[in-house]
Amino acid sequence: MVNAGPAGAAGTWELGDRKVNRVGYGAMRLTGNGMAGNSDGPPIDRDLAVRLLRRAVDQGVNHIDTASFYFSPLRSANELINRALSSRRDDVVVVTKVGPGRDPSGAWHAMVRPDQLRGQVEENLRQLGRDHLDVVNLRRNGRDMNSVAEHFGALTELREAGLIRHLGLSNVGPEHVAEARSIAPVVCVQNSYGLDARGADESGLVDLCGELGIAFVPFFAVAGLHREGAAGEERDDRVREVARAHGATPAQVRLAWTLHRGPHVLAIPGTADPAHLDENIAAATLRLTPEEQEVLGAPAADGS
């Protein structure tokens, strides 16, 4: 039975055979390290990170996004998740991703070959302390990967072997979704998306996922153009105005707008701050009027 909690206020969606609340948690910020490999900041206190993860689950978060390459010199997101939630693994759907990789020093290397994906899957299994992975997203390297067929086919074999329960995609277009679905079911698509980055609207990907019953999971929904960096001071007057009207924060408005795009859209905001965690989860309760959704969704005056 799904623990509704505050995170369930926006409803639920099914990732394959697992029902999750639509507000989840992204673990990247737990390590002080982003996709760009920046790790100059101090590492989060391990006990604080463990408490943060447990606090999220206590509030109904049962969908956590991670990856084995989310690490900094002293912290690993997977290790923290394993430590915090080993006794609650049946209550939480952990979604990881494979494709890109980093060596032990943190340096990025090129997209792995299809035959190397098993090693990445096994690395996630070891770090998370599990005998199978709930969901694995194939993250496409857009610069040198026009087709996902060979890699997705390799992951399908691992799913058939029992190492993976469900498969998804990340950083893809509609054509890649069609290509993957011809090989095996796709339960989720994870792309950059938010008020400031609406490429998935322009390509039709958000609506396509809804039509196909696939979860669309935006990343950088709050940070926007800041990407891996923490969201800066809100510059959009429309967001600030709606936030004032609801007694909410700009970040909550951005998350709420994203969730209003459709019942299949899930949120995975990340933070290492307990107060921000509570605010992000509370965004599930924020209801925007149709007029507010229209104002926020329209192009900004500066064309952004």
Q: Among residues 13, 25, 69, 70, which one is catalytic? A: 70
* Nearby residues of 231 by Cβ (< 8 Å), 6 or more positions away: 222, 223, 224, 250, 251
Query: CA-to-CA distance for 119 and 22, rounded, in angstroms?
Result: 30
Residue 193 is among the residues annotated as catalytic for this protein: no
Measured CA to CA in angstroms, residue 77 lies from 93, 114, 260, 273 at distances of 15, 24, 29, 15
| Beta bridge pairs of residue 14 | 19
Query: CA-to-CA distance for 195 and 147, rounded, in angstroms?
Result: 28
User: Which sequence positions are flagged as catalytic?
Assistant: 70
